[in-house]
Amino acid sequence: MTASQQQSTDLDSDPIIVPTDGASVTQRHPLYYIELVLFKVDTTLYRVQKHGFLYSNPKFFDRFNVPSDNNSDASDSNPIELNGVTSQAFEGLMVVLYPMNGNVPTYEAWLGALELATQWDMPDIRTRAIDALTNLHQNGSSTNTEIINLAKKYGIKTWLKDEYVKLVQNHSTRLEDLVGLLDNETLMRIFATQSYLFQDLTPPTTEASIICNNCTGGHGFTHCDKCCYQKGRYSTSTRNCDNCRNNKAWVFCELYCPRQHKPQVGLQDRAKVEAEIDRVFTAEFSFMGGIATVGSDPH
């Protein structure tokens, strides 16, 4: 054949049309020769541009046995079947890879993109999804426990640590509200951390400045803690503090006791809470750092 041509069908190459008669070589432009790829997810076919996948992961198609006629415009036969992938997750990734008509990805779309970017080693898409979801979380779109479970699932240490800190610092956090939403070991560590920091009291000032009978009588702040701070948990007859018996209660102690920040001081110091969270969850954070797929942003 005087003008025969040989064309590569490998999706991961840049096919070059090589003439055999000595004519000039014709090649496909690396950017403006748009190749398509056909996927099947559940019962739906998707024919999309190939470059988005290769840009996100140059070795993306190595994991699939790509049929030779997969990128043919004329046929819907021989798609790459994505078993175990939901249409919702795949469409979320498509919205991020190929935005159309100025559509802004929804929360669910970013979640789908995060799931598949983590599964398919697409660090840039993963980082974009994490950043977008972080902003949405700050707007109150998810609860503490939902974010914690997502962080565990996708290996996002920043989310996990931040939500642990919030739970520990929230003095109204109750065990009964979290049972069934978080695993038992996490619950145990959260409340152990809170209990430890709750007892982190500031040291007393000079005895000359003490105006509380409990302190001057040698009972000290520990005795006040058992009474005043837990006001309402005891009947009036069991209160051991003169301030409480005179109905001045905790407000009076707060004004005149030298330890004015009370037991919550450890919980109010975010740096101290973060340090304790790092200590208590060292193993979990270390393991997470080993499995997380990250881009330039160390999430």
Together in a domain, 242 and 279: no
Count of the separate structural domains present in the chain: 3
pLDDT at 177 exceeding the cut of 70: yes
Answer yes or no: is 225 within a domain.
yes
Helices assigned H by DSSP within the chain? 51-56, 87-97, 107-119, 123-138, 144-154, 157-169, 175-178, 184-198, 213-216, 220-224, 242-245, 249-256, 265-268, 270-280, 282-291
Question: In terms of domains, do 248 and 273 share one?
Answer: no
pLDDT in tens, 250-281: 444 544 454 444 444 567 788 999 999 999 99
Q: What is the CA radius of gyration of the chain?
A: 31
Look at residue 110 and tell me if it is in a domain: yes
Range of the domain at 237: 207-262
- Domain shared by 118 and 179, yes or no: no
pLDDT band at 119 (very low <50, low <70, confident <90, very high): very high
Residue 146 falls within a domain, yes or no?
no
pLDDT of residue 288: 79
Residues 81 and 173 in one domain: no
The pLDDT of residue 92: 96
Q: Are residues 179 and 284 in the same domain?
A: yes
Is the domain of 95 the same as that of 193? no
Q: What percent of the chain has pLDDT over 90?
A: 43
pLDDT at 226: 47
49 and 118 inside one domain: yes
CATH code, domain carrying 90: 3.30.710.10
Task: Say if residue 83 is in the same domain as residue 137.
Answer: yes
The pLDDT score that the predictor gives to residue 232 is 44
Is the residue at 132 inside a domain? yes
In a domain, 55, yes or no: yes
Give 19's DSSP letter. E
- Do the domain assignments include residue 9? no
Let me know: does 118 contact 155? Beta carbons within 8 Å.
yes
Judge whether residue 231 has pLDDT over 80.
no
Q: How confident is the model at residue 59 (pLDDT cuts 50, 70, 90)?
A: very high
pLDDT (tens digit, 9 = 90+) per residue, 97-116? 998 887 889 999 999 999 99
More confident residue, 33 or 19: 33
For residues 246 and 271, membership in a common domain is answered with: no
Residues 191 and 278 in one domain: yes
Is position 298 within any domain? no
Q: How confident is the model at residue 174 (pLDDT cuts 50, 70, 90)?
A: confident
Same structural domain for residues 278 and 186? yes
Q: Measuring CA to CA, how many Å separate 238 from each of 1, 125, 211, 244?
A: 106, 61, 22, 10
Q: Which amino acid is at 82?
A: L
- Phi and psi dihedrals of 17, rounded to 5? -85, 115
Confirm whether 10 is domain-assigned. Answer: no
pLDDT for position 75: 74
Q: Are strands 36-41 and 5-6 parallel, antiparallel or unpaired?
A: unpaired
Place of tokens 């006791």: 257
On whether both 92 and 120 belong to a single domain, the answer is yes
